[in-house]
Amino acid sequence: MRDMTIGQYYPSNSVVHRADPRFKLLILILFIVTVFFCESFFSFGFMTFFVIVTILLARVPILKVLKGLKMIIIIVLITTLLMTVFYTDPNSKPLAEWGIFHIYLNGIYAAIKLAWRLLLLVLMPTVLTLTSTPTELCDGLESLLSPLKKIKFPVHELALIMSIALRLIPTLIEETDKIMNAQKARGAAFESRNPFKKIKAMLPVLIPLFVSSFRRADDLADAMDSRCYRGAKGRTRMKKLHCRVSDVVALLFWCAVTVCVLFLNYNWFGWGFIAVLGL
């Protein structure tokens, strides 16, 4: 359990690390929207180029970034395979056919694009979590959502819940480790092959874990109460978020990238060279 990595922040002092988390979140949203607009191989390549530039600027080891892809690589492979064999194109002849499965050239293209899209969609959030601490992200989110306070949405509370949850993940892992060891010492076996037996074997771990979570929550509430915590009202921050010129520039830059992709896609002015690129 102990070598599980959650909250995979990679400490460094790069431009991307220092950037305002609010802007990083905005750019991420913009990026995700843009990726869904990408249709041609050229536009995918275009986006990938800027992702690579971001990774280089962030100065995180490329292996760390690729580790983030490990979780979804199976999903990507399966969807790609299904896309390839089930894609139907009435306008052309299939390259190969077995019963209900058939492979079209366009099907292969579509599958590659799908895989590419999925990988891009995971890469960028990975870079975000590698370059921002969970606290930064929570603060950024709270600040971004603050307009919702107008309609009485509990923004601060939501951010607090998030940061507490993130903070307690390592604690819970440690606790799980301890309880598992205690039950193993009493002869419990967690290595059963049968999934039902496995779930049943986890009960002696899950119940104490639940009990201790409630106890911890109680303690935390008491600790906050004794420090006069009264919610968001009148609360100031020790670390204020500062947006710098570079953050605005980065956001504008990504807006420009989005516009470029839209251009490649819709070709509003009917330029010939774009039509060539738009495979």
**Residue that the structure tokens 């896309």 belong to:** 83
CB 205 within 8 A of CB 211: no
- Enumerate residues 210-269 that contact other proteins by CB under 8 A: 211-212
CB of 181 closer than 8 Å to CB of 63: no
Contact (CB, 8 A) for 29 and 156: no
**Which of 188, 232, 255, 277: binder of other proteins (CB under 8 A)?**
188
Residue 172 in contact with residue 6, Cβ under 8 Å? Answer: no
Give the residue with the Cβ less far from other proteins, 152 or 186: 186
Least gap, CB of 37 to other proteins (angstroms): 39
185 lies in the site for other proteins, by CB under 8 A: yes
**Burial class of residue 76 (count of CB atoms within 10 Å of its CB; 0-12, 13-18, 19+):** middle
Q: Which is nearer to other proteins, 186 or 242 (CB)?
A: 186
Stretch that binds other proteins, among 173-181, 222-230, 247-255, 269-277 (CB under 8 A): 173-181
126 binds other proteins (CB under 8 A): no
Considering only residues 55-94, where is the footprint of other proteins by CB under 8 A? Answer: none
Residue 120 or 130 with smaller CB distance to other proteins:
130
Positions in the binding site for other proteins (CB under 8 A): 3, 178-179, 181-189, 203-205, 207-208, 211-212
